[in-house]
Structure 1
Amino acid sequence: MKEVPGIVFDGGQASYNLQALAPFVQAAVRNTSVHEARETAARAATTLQAQQNPEGYWVGDLTADTTLLSDYILLQMWLYPPAANGSWDPPTMPKIRKAAKSLLETQRPDGGWNIYEPGPSEINATVRAYTMLKMTGLSPEDPRMQKARTLILKMGGIQACNSYTRINYSFFDLFPKKYCPTIPPEIMIIPGSVLYEMSSWTRTIIVPLSIVQALGGTRPTPGGLRIEELFHPNKRIALHRKDRIANLFIRADKLFKRWERQSVKKIRDRAIREAEHWMLDRLHYSEGLGAIYPSIMYSIMAMDVLGYERDHPDLMEAIGHFDGLMLESEEGMVFQPAKSPVWDTAIGAFALGEAGQGNPEQMTAAADWLLSKEIRRRGDWATKRPNLTPSGWVFEFANEFYPDIDDTAMVLLTLLHAKASDPERQKRAERRAVDWLLGMQSSDGGWAAFDVDNNWQILNKVPFADHNAMLDPTCPDITGRVIESLCKRGFDCTHPAIIRGVHYLLSHQEENGSWYGRWGVNYIYGTFLALRGLVASGAPGAVEAIARGAHWLREIQNPDGGWGESCLGYDTERFERAVSTPSQTAWALLGLMAAGGVRSNSVQDGVRWLCENQRPDGTWDETITTGTGFPGVFYISYHLYRNYFPLLALGVYGKRSKS
């Protein structure tokens, strides 16, 4: 065993000497009852255990904003065009009416719709909701529509909408096509790997979308309805211009449009065939293309314009996966952007294990189910890592071309607690997954979500990059989780991958001591995972960074003892305080406890907040959005976050208090 100031290494693991770190992370003690915390954790565990599927997995609802409802109605307009006389009576009309009802019920007092709770009204969500309500028969003179229209014009009119709203509306001649970015299918036959320099989710969106743009033409609207009233009379219609480089891409877009009209048929046909084959390859081994809402929707539209009959197995399967994202009740409807069983199972089982609440049979069932989901197919990631043995886990039930690094790291953490019925099979899978994680480290030392070195910044200048997710760059939250996962399997700060990962985290710490969170809201999420990774590494040079991160968490604690952060921070690029939430309170506690502050006032107050705010059924309420899809554009509410993260935090608190 060797020692450096503030850190103890033991058997490849690292812990921080509380006495040495006391000036940084300790404060006077308030005694929150450990017994009370354990009782709270036990109630949470009982509820979570009852939610496990008989097959061994957990899956919570995953909800987002109303654009998914609006786009559902748009897809029905595409699949079931109105009759020649303008009447529209698709077979899905009962669901369309329910979607419209849900849209109306979520309208904000100012007339708009937002993209996160409790955020302000947002132009794209509001335009889409207004349009689809009009298409389903709500009069523009209805007071609710008048209020929405007034707000839309105040926000700049439909001209202020992003590329994907514009493109979708161009398919119905609701927005001029010449002012929409062109995505030529010829991108499939350009020499090199330009397609794979884009993020995985962008790939799965633009490939089918390029087919639709090339072949789709326009479809009629019910009754020939228009939305001219949404165009601001004093705003020019144009492709969005950001800067000089963006303008170069806009000029290139004009060339693409000319090519659209004059393209050599043989080249265009080959490009469309390549796009179709690429799309179908990924459809056959997933819950729809990319297993995410927009990609599945565009794949359905692409197969339709390619001439697939409605009873074609591939089209029927895609529609089935799309409809499977629907959460319907008598009261209304919401759509999930994806399903999250691997993610929820990994975190849920890990929380139970850390809390000492893991029922052996249930944990074995979880481990067996997770092992059955290991990816053994070469996906898009292999373009840059052709010699890496396939492994890893996806987020969803099935999405074999897209295992992700975050899920893989989380599953490896879970398998430390959850033991499968076949130990040898588990060992082999774990070895493969560790090797895959090591192989997926980017050149800057960090880890991204799906790819390696996905960082061509120039791609952020293309006209259709305004969904703010053109790339999949490395990020502190995933990097911290990967380091923790590897170090809990015997790696330490002498391993080259850990050295580079730690350096990445240290170089990406904000001036105030926090870390940015790409996949959870926001700086609280990034900071908790960075701290856990740095502490697990035992890196001597990380002591000051850990202390600064812990200090920042204490500084932004709410007066009620909890923590809360708004999605607004992605727009302002700083921490934006919000009401305390169970998930973010748990994240902050996990970060502080990793840094050694188990008995600090901050931890005691945070634990007390969790205990006092638990519901009698062992769950917590969470009213604000804490998950991130595309920063500034799309956010997610993970309905199990509010339950298993507090369980994890309370479990760690109970264990650390005992020691």
Structure 2
Amino acid sequence: MIFSRHNRDRGTAFSLTAQSSPSLVLAPTVRPSQRDHSSLQQERSRDSRSALDEAFVVQHVPVHKEDRSRSTEAKLITNAMQRTQRWLYDRQLADGHWRGSLEGDTILESEYVIILAWAGKLAAPEVKGAAQRILQEQLPSGGWAIYPGGPVDCSASVKAYLALKLTGHAQDSEPLNRARLAIARAGGPWSVNSFTRFYLALLGQMPYSACPAVPPEMVLLPSWFPINLHRVSAWSRTMIVPLSLIWAFKPVRKVLKAEGIGELFATPEWLQAPQITAENGIWTKFFRVVDRVVKMSDAIGFQPLRSRAVAECRRWMLQRFEGSDGLGAIFPPIVWSIVALRAMGCDDESAEVQECWRQLAGLVEVESDGSVRVEPCRSPVWDTAITLRSLCDAGRAVKSSGTDRCLATEVASVTDLDQTVDWLLDREVRTSGDWARRTDAIPSGWCFEYANRFYPDVDDTAMVLIALSTWQQSVAGLAAQGTSAGLGRVARVHAAISRATPWLEALQNSDGGWGAFDRDNNCEILCKVPFADHNAMIDPSSPDLAGRVLEAFGKIGLRLGHASVDRACDYLRLNQEADGSWFGRWGINFIYGTWQAIEGLRSVGVPANDPAIVAAVEWLVSRQQSDGGWGESPASYSDPAMSGRGTPTASQTAWAVAAFIAADRHDSRPAQRGVQWLVERQCVDGAWEENEFTGTGFPKVFYLRYHYYPIYFPLMALARFLTAEALAAAGRSRKEQVA
């Protein structure tokens, strides 16, 4: 396999080919990185990094005459890995953790401007920057999409239009002229979703009667009632409670006519796209009747339980502020909490409102060009766990490949990662949260954000277990060479794994899979309520989560024959698509789900020649693109023909390569071409260019770009490939010796 360097935008310091310096490991000059402005003061000093820096000098590596091509290949991959390792270590924060930026579409900036307008804070310096970003993301057609390359989304476009009007853009300006036409063609303002309707109602642009009723009395429904607050998903729960208070008080702040969007409602009907025919199933009709009854009751003032319900909603909401980065630690409920508290009479000086504003400010990022990007939440636990496992994988790979630098690199990595392990251990959530209503397990899990004590989740907990287990294996390898790794830390890791494993088992659903936050949160009739158009009212099992948990179980030694493992394997077999792929709920989409399912099944002992694994690998082969990479667009959530198809990306190519390695197909041509794709497209600073959204918030509604995905996932894939190659070579050597 011969790699040739692509000249990328970031520049290439040298040619990376099998012919150039075949016995040298080259250390490129790394340009100064563009760092997270909020983290600059926390980054560790370069002066304290001498041990790691020494690992990146130019060194001679012996080339074995009997296998020169494989040795050269290993060196090229090692070079790529070490550049990425350095990239990551340069961005490690002072206390040992990592946090990459998390990017959504412009609905975040639009909603940020709208909430500031409602609160009378349009003079805030961030407002112009938010409007700048909104303009930057406008499509040539005039509208706004919810992911790069996507079609015009009416709700996102209406909110963007309003935000621009609020920030002084004239109705007859060129961007807004184009936007009006795009909005009309997308269905017009009456076709926007529920969340958008509430934002419009806050500023008097749409009556509250046009919003779905969200009565606060819902919080009083008992747990035995078929429909109650805790039957909806955790994220919907945190939005419904403050929204119900907004529904109860219906706060409005009128804006000037020049700042409003009245002209959108005056668009001739012939310009507007036909409305999508609403579903007319029995439960849909039932909830429409309920919606009308609630609105009629409010209109005539028949609200016998309203005061009690409002008090309970307030108590519920404030309780979940404790130990959290805001309600649910995500943008929407933080914003709704501000409005709800203000509607109930709290002013901006109250401690509760001040805390909400502080948490919201923590999600605002000012870019180098002055534009403002609002994050949906922060992802430190997730980023840190994946970075830890990837760096440990890299340490093992370099050691396995037999290069001179293996010991120095791994010692430096594990020494630096001790603090990372401590940081993760300190974030274990050991108090009960909403999940405890469905199971009586002893609390032990991890959340996605810095603090979210009521909502640890299955995915992060499983990923942390994988990372800690991988670190344990690295420590064991060093201990065998006489390197002390801290017995106390090892004991803490073992104890945390022992606590979290039964917690994960307890949250397993009746169908054998896992949801994200709760056990058996799968009441499908709730998806028929008028408010459910955000496509996430429930939290059912998904194949990617089942695969992740199985991988974690495999890491700690659980195998086929264990009850929880067997049920999860059965779930995956039952939910494999006819073409061999698996659906991905939290990553895009079938590439992500297929990788996780293969990884999980193989980790617990399912053989590589199992029909499910073989079919999945064949599907991945069928989706490899002509350049050797893999890519998939969010469009695959709506269009089955787009399954596994889209612009190739580093993160999705890494997932596919990792799947091949897990399936014992590292030596296959598709896997090797995938590795070649990654090595050739690496930038000189060790990163990969990736502007596509490969993470999923709510399918069909909200997608994510994790800025570290094209960093640690390719590192993980390359490291595993190098390890697999080294182990295969060792096996060949043993056979030759026996012969």
TM-score between the two structures when normalised by the length of structure 1 = 0.91
2:568 counterpart of 1:515: no
2:656 counterpart of 1:588: yes
SS of residue in 2 equivalent to 1:628: strand
Q: How does 1:253-332 map to 2 (within 5 A)?
A: 253-263=291-301, 267-329=305-367, 330-332=369-371
Task: State whether residues 547 and 597 of structure 2, in contact with CA within 8 Å, keep that contact through their aligned partners in structure 1.
Answer: yes
Aligned to 2:714: 646
Aligned to 2:145: 114
Task: State whether residues 598 and 657 of structure 1, in contact with CA within 8 Å, keep that contact through their aligned partners in structure 2.
Answer: yes
Aligned to 1:379: 433
Moved more, 320-329 or 264-273: 264-273
CA shift, 1:628, in A, is 0.4
Q: Among 246, 254, 265, which residue is 1:220 paired with?
A: 254
Q: Which amino acid aligns with 1:296?
A: I
SS of residue in 1 equivalent to 2:365: strand
Task: State whether residues 179 and 237 of structure 1, in contact with CA within 8 Å, keep that contact through their aligned partners in structure 2.
Answer: no
Q: Which amino acid aligns with 1:192?
A: S
CA shift, 1:240, in A, is 7.9
Aligned to 1:185: 216
Task: State whether residues 116 and 122 of structure 2, in contact with CA within 8 Å, keep that contact through their aligned partners in structure 1.
Answer: no
CA change 1:636–1:494 in 2 (3 A) is: same
SS of residue in 2 equivalent to 1:221: coil
Q: Among 103, 120, 125, which residue is 2:156 paired with?
A: 125
Write the distance in 2 (CA, Å) between the matches of 1:469 and 1:342.
23
Unaligned runs of 5+ in 2: 1-68, 396-408, 473-485, 728-739
Aligned to 1:457: 524
Q: Which amino acid aligns with 2:618?
A: H
Write the distance in 2 (CA, Å) between the matches of 1:559 and 1:514.
20
Aligned to 1:615: 683
Aligned to 2:206: 175
Aligned to 2:627: 560
SS of residue in 2 equivalent to 1:327: strand
Bigger relative contact order (CA 8 A; separation at least 6): 1
CA shift, 1:94, in A, is 2.3
Write the distance in 1 (CA, Å) between the matches of 2:591 and 2:516.
19
Write the distance in 1 (CA, Å) between the matches of 2:583 and 2:576.
8
Moved more, 242-251 or 612-621: 242-251
CA shift, 1:224, in A, is 6.6
Aligned to 2:12: none
Q: How does 1:233-272 map to 2 (within 5 A)?
A: 233-234=268-269, 241-244=278-281, 245-263=283-301, 267-272=305-310
CA shift, 1:264, in A, is 5.0
Write the distance in 2 (CA, Å) between the matches of 1:236 and 1:170.
23
- Deviation string 1:14-54 (CA, Å, 9 cap, x unpaired) is xxxxxxxxxxxxxxxx9781221121111111111221111
2:457 counterpart of 1:404: yes
Write the distance in 1 (CA, Å) between the matches of 2:569 and 2:273.
48
Unaligned runs of 5+ in 1: 1-29, 81-89
Q: How does 1:145-164 map to 2 (within 5 A)?
A: 145-164=176-195
Task: State whether residues 338 and 396 of structure 1, in contact with CA within 8 Å, keep that contact through their aligned partners in structure 2.
Answer: yes
Task: State whether residues 95 and 423 of structure 2, in contact with CA within 8 Å, keep that contact through their aligned partners in structure 1.
Answer: yes
Write the distance in 1 (CA, Å) between the matches of 2:362 and 2:105.
17
Write the distance in 2 (CA, Å) between the matches of 1:635 and 1:195.
25
CA shift, 1:238, in A, is 9.9
Q: Quick one: percent identity of the two aligned structures? A: 41
Q: Which amino acid aligns with 2:448?
A: F
Aligned to 2:703: 635
Write the distance in 1 (CA, Å) between the matches of 2:536 and 2:710.
26
Query: Which protein is bigger by CA-based radius of gyration?
Result: 2
- Deviation string 1:122-151 (CA, Å, 9 cap, x unpaired) is 111111111111122211111111111011
Q: Which amino acid aligns with 1:242?
A: E
Write the distance in 2 (CA, Å) between the matches of 1:259 and 1:649.
58
Q: How does 1:512-551 map to 2 (within 5 A)?
A: 512-539=579-606, 543-551=610-618
- Deviation string 1:573-603 (CA, Å, 9 cap, x unpaired) is 3415212110000000001111111111001
SS of residue in 2 equivalent to 1:619: coil
Q: Which amino acid aligns with 1:257?
A: K
Task: State whether residues 598 and 656 of structure 1, in contact with CA within 8 Å, keep that contact through their aligned partners in structure 2.
Answer: yes
Q: Among 70, 81, 100, which residue is 1:41 paired with?
A: 81
Q: Among 418, 428, 431, which residue is 2:471 paired with?
A: 418
2:671 counterpart of 1:603: yes
Write the distance in 2 (CA, Å) between the matches of 1:262 and 1:542.
67
Q: Among 229, 234, 254, which residue is 2:263 paired with?
A: 229
Aligned to 1:579: 647
Write the distance in 2 (CA, Å) between the matches of 1:98 and 1:355.
39
Write the distance in 2 (CA, Å) between the matches of 1:651 and 1:541.
20
CA shift, 1:265, in A, is 5.3
Task: State whether residues 534 and 542 of structure 1, in contact with CA within 8 Å, keep that contact through their aligned partners in structure 2.
Answer: no
CA change 1:54–1:418 in 2 (3 A) is: farther
Moved more, 65-74 or 239-248: 239-248
Q: Among 212, 225, 239, which residue is 1:205 paired with?
A: 239
CA shift, 1:313, in A, is 1.4
Alignment RMSD (CA, Å): 1.9
Task: State whether residues 364 and 418 of structure 1, in contact with CA within 8 Å, keep that contact through their aligned partners in structure 2.
Answer: no
2:393 counterpart of 1:354: yes
Task: State whether residues 608 and 663 of structure 2, in contact with CA within 8 Å, keep that contact through their aligned partners in structure 1.
Answer: no
Write the distance in 2 (CA, Å) between the matches of 1:225 and 1:561.
50
Write the distance in 1 (CA, Å) between the matches of 2:349 and 2:268.
45
Task: State whether residues 481 and 529 of structure 1, in contact with CA within 8 Å, keep that contact through their aligned partners in structure 2.
Answer: yes
Task: State whether residues 582 and 646 of structure 1, in contact with CA within 8 Å, keep that contact through their aligned partners in structure 2.
Answer: yes
Moved more, 341-350 or 99-108: 99-108
CA change 1:121–1:236 in 2 (3 A) is: closer
Q: Which amino acid aligns with 1:363?
A: L
Q: Which amino acid aligns with 2:119?
A: L
- Deviation string 1:474-516 (CA, Å, 9 cap, x unpaired) is 1000100100111221111100101100000111111111000
CA shift, 1:92, in A, is 3.7
Moved more, 253-262 or 123-132: 253-262
Write the distance in 2 (CA, Å) between the matches of 1:158 and 1:388.
47
- Deviation string 1:43-76 (CA, Å, 9 cap, x unpaired) is 1111112211111111000010000000011101
Write the distance in 1 (CA, Å) between the matches of 2:462 and 2:285.
40
Aligned to 1:476: 543
Aligned to 2:28: none
CA shift, 1:569, in A, is 0.4
Task: State whether residues 550 and 603 of structure 2, in contact with CA within 8 Å, keep that contact through their aligned partners in structure 1.
Answer: yes
Aligned to 2:564: 497
Aligned to 1:78: 118
Task: State whether residues 691 and 705 of structure 2, in contact with CA within 8 Å, keep that contact through their aligned partners in structure 1.
Answer: no
Task: State whether residues 179 and 238 of structure 1, in contact with CA within 8 Å, keep that contact through their aligned partners in structure 2.
Answer: no
Q: Which amino acid aligns with 1:405?
A: V
CA shift, 1:293, in A, is 0.4
Moved more, 122-131 or 568-577: 568-577
Task: State whether residues 155 and 193 of structure 2, in contact with CA within 8 Å, keep that contact through their aligned partners in structure 1.
Answer: yes
SS of residue in 1 equivalent to 2:696: strand
Task: State whether residues 405 and 450 of structure 1, in contact with CA within 8 Å, keep that contact through their aligned partners in structure 2.
Answer: yes
Moved more, 40-49 or 237-246: 237-246
Write the distance in 2 (CA, Å) between the matches of 1:151 and 1:208.
32
Aligned to 1:27: none
- Deviation string 1:309-368 (CA, Å, 9 cap, x unpaired) is 211112111110011100113421101000000000000000011111651222211110
Q: Which amino acid aligns with 2:690?
A: E
Task: State whether residues 366 and 418 of structure 1, in contact with CA within 8 Å, keep that contact through their aligned partners in structure 2.
Answer: no
CA change 1:466–1:91 in 2 (3 A) is: closer
SS of residue in 1 equivalent to 2:471: coil
